[in-house]
């Protein structure tokens, strides 16, 4: 079974609309189990922040025989060569707000998790076939909305970070604990170093949700 963890209600709805799915609620978390492109799939909304994402992903893995996790959602871009609605795929994920450096030195800055190379390659091929611009690299994850001075601090601390968001670090950590391969895909809602790069949020949500559903369907064809 393949799990798709989405960030927004609209993304979940767009994906589920393409499935023959049955809704089920466990400990307050809604799951949609069914088939897509002849693959067994369960779709779940993560909730905002690492705490919600860790809780919901744990419930997911305790109740479903998940073999692969694909997490889709939104992030803020951190590189000049990025644009709104570009996609970022995780080669690695870091919890950028994890810091035990007063005790452990530099080794205590950030918790890192590696995405599955096979899943990464399949996702990249699917996105390119959909004519989506793809960037690969480090996804920075933390319980903080990154803006202003926080953006500079993050980029100074993690210069390789391609984007910043709030759930992937927890999903990656729980996946690694359960030894389930994962990959993170983020659509960019804005780019920090381009102040004029913005889109009406409702318009962005519409485009992002449609793309997420198309991507998920294309990915299932390939898995």
Which residues neighbour 18 within 8 Å (Cβ) at sequence distance 6 or greater?
36, 213, 216, 217
- Alpha-carbon distance of 110 to 145, in angstroms, equals 17
Choosing from 33, 116, 165, 190, which is the catalytic residue? 190
Active-site pick, 11, 33, 86, 167: 11
pLDDT tens-digit readout, 44-55:
999 889 999 999
User: Is there a catalytic annotation at residue 129?
Assistant: no
Average pLDDT over every residue of 146-169 = 88
Q: Mean pLDDT lowest for which of 104-108, 143-147, 187-191, 213-217?
A: 143-147
Local confidence band at 202 (pLDDT 50, 70, 90 cut-offs) = confident
Contacts of 145 (CB under 8 A, 6+ apart): 166
Residues 6+ positions from 42 with CB-CB distance below 8 Å: 1, 2, 3, 4, 31, 32, 33, 60, 64, 66
Q: Is a pLDDT exceeding 80 seen at residue 205?
A: no
Per CATH, domain 2-222 is 3.40.50.1580: yes
- Asked if 114 is an active-site residue, the reply is no
Task: Indicate if the pLDDT at residue 199 is higher than 70.
Answer: no
pLDDT band at 208 (very low <50, low <70, confident <90, very high): confident
**Residue 190 predicted with pLDDT over 90:** no
Q: What is the pTM of this model?
A: 0.92
Taking residues 95-111, report their average pLDDT: 90
- Give me 122's structure tokens: 């399949």
Domain chopping of the chain, boundaries: 2-222
């Amino acid at each position: 079974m393949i799990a798709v963890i989405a960030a927004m209600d609209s993304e979940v709805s767009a994906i589920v609309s393409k499935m023959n799915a049955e809704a089920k609620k466990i400990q307050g978390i809604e799951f949609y189990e069914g088939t897509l492109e002849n693959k067994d799939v369960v779709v779940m909304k993560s909730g905002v922040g690492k705490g919600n994402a860790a809780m919901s992903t744990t419930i997911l893995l305790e109740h479903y025989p998940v073999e692969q996790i694909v997490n889709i959602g939104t992030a803020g871009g951190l590189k000049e060569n990025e644009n709104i609605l570009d996609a970022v795929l995780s080669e690695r994920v870091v919890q950028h707000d994890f810091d035990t450096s007063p005790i452990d030195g530099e080794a205590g800055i950030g918790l890192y998790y590696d995405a599955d190379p096979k899943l990464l390659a399949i996702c990249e091929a699917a996105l390119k076939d959909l004519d989506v611009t793809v960037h690969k690299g480090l996804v920075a994850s933390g319980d903080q909305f990154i803006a202003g001075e926080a953006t500079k601090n993050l980029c100074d601390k993690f210069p390789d970070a391609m984007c910043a968001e709030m759930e992937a670090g927890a999903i990656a950590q729980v996946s690694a604990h359960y030894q389930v391969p994962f990959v993170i895909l983020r659509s960019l809602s804005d780019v920090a170093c381009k102040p004029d790069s913005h889109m009406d949020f409702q318009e962005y949500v519409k485009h992002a949700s449609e793309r997420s559903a198309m991507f998920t369907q294309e990915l299932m064809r390939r898995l």
